[in-house]
Amino acid sequence: KYRLSEEPRAFTYQVDGEKKSVLLQQVIAVTDFNDVKAGTSGGWVDADNVLSQQGDCWIYDENAMAFAGTEITGNARRSRARSTITCE
C-alpha cells in the first residue's frame, strides 16, 4: 500500500517543557486504494507500523505528522497539517 521515503526529516517538539526530537519519513503510496493514487506523497511517520498497510487509512496532508506510538488503522483519514497525533 505504501513505502517510506528514503530521506528522513527531523522534527523537534516539547513535552512538559522538555525538548524532544524525532526522525520522520514520508509515506508514499505504491498502489491505488480508495481515493489515493500510486505515487501520492502523504504525511510523515516515525515508524512503519504507525500507518497500517491494511484498510483505506491514509495521512492526506503532506505536512501532517504521526509519531510517539500513534497507530492509524482501518479507514482513518488524517488531514490536519498542524496537529500531531500522539498517544501514550
Q: Do 48 and 65 touch, CB atoms closer than 8 A?
A: no
The H-assigned helical ranges of 3-78 are none
Mean pLDDT rounded to a whole number for the chain:
89
Contacts 24+ apart (CB under 8 A), 35-44: 41/5, 42/2, 43/78, 44/9, 44/11
Residue 87 lies in a domain: no
Predicted model pTM = 0.85
Residue 85 lies in a domain: no
Domain count, the chain: 1
Beta bridge partner(s), residue 3: 28
Q: Which tens digit of pLDDT belongs to each residue from 11-21?
A: 999 989 999 99
Query: Residue 83 — pLDDT band, cuts 50, 70, 90?
Result: very low
Going by their DSSP bridges, the two strands 9-15 and 2-4 should be labelled as: unpaired
Domain of 23, in residue numbers: 2-78
Contacts 24+ apart (CB under 8 A), 44-50: 44/9, 44/11, 45/4, 45/70, 46/22, 48/4
Residue 88 lies in a domain: no
Q: What CA–CA distance (Å, rounded) separates 52 from 48?
A: 8
